Amino acid sequence: MIGVLFFVALGANAQEVIEKDGIYYFDSKPYTGSYIGTYDNGNTKFSLFLKNGKKDGEMRIYFQNGKLNEIRHYKKNEMDGTWITYNEDEVQVGLANYKAGKKDGEWKVWNDQGKMIYEMNYVNGEKSGTWKKFGADGQILSERTF
């Protein structure tokens, strides 16, 4: 049984999935399954799930040193759900939300130390609500309502 598992894992890593015009193919057919890209040093560059050649579900992107850089979500190849961005010190520096490929919901940006810089909101791709910009001391520097 261990030999079979090793063979399956080796086969999954040896596959050549090709991306063309936003669709991922294996053996000239749209690919369904997990797909992992790697850096030259062997560390994971990204991992995602594909369905009929399209991004569908969670995608993770990593720095070359192996630390997590981004978590993205897709539905039928469109941005959909929450996206989170980290810096190399593992501090969250971004939060974005999408629905059916459009900006939708809360968006936040932090500096490299984790202090809030911007707080924004979108509805169906359009700016919405009160947008805020923060100073280094956490005080609101400006607000704009859309």
Distance from the first to the final alpha carbon of the chain: 61
Give the residue from 92, 87, 89, 99 showing the smallest Cα distance to 123.
99
Instruction: Please tell me the predicted confidence (pLDDT) of residue 123.
Output: 98
Give per-residue pLDDT as tens, 32-62: 999 999 999 999 999 999 999 999 999 999 9
Please give the model's pTM, rounded to 2 decimal places. Answer: 0.85
**Stronger pLDDT, 15 or 127, i.e. the higher one:** 127
Give the residue from 76, 97, 92 showing the smallest Cα distance to 23.
76
Give the residue from 42, 76, 48 showing the smallest Cα distance to 60.
48
Please name every residue paired with 70 in a beta bridge, in sequence order, or none if there are none. 61, 85
CA distances 85 to 14, 39, 59, 61, 140, Å, are 29, 19, 12, 9, 23
Average pLDDT over residues 8-18: 57
Average pLDDT over residues 92-102: 98
Give per-residue pLDDT as tens, 119-146: 999 999 999 999 999 999 999 999 999 9
**Topology of 2-145 in CATH?**
Outer Surface Protein A; domain 3 (3.90.930)
Residue 3 is classified by DSSP as H
Residue in the block written with tokens 């910009």: 133
Instruction: Please tell me the predicted confidence (pLDDT) of residue 15.
Output: 54
Residue 10: is its pLDDT beyond 60? no
Share of the chain above pLDDT 90, in %: 89
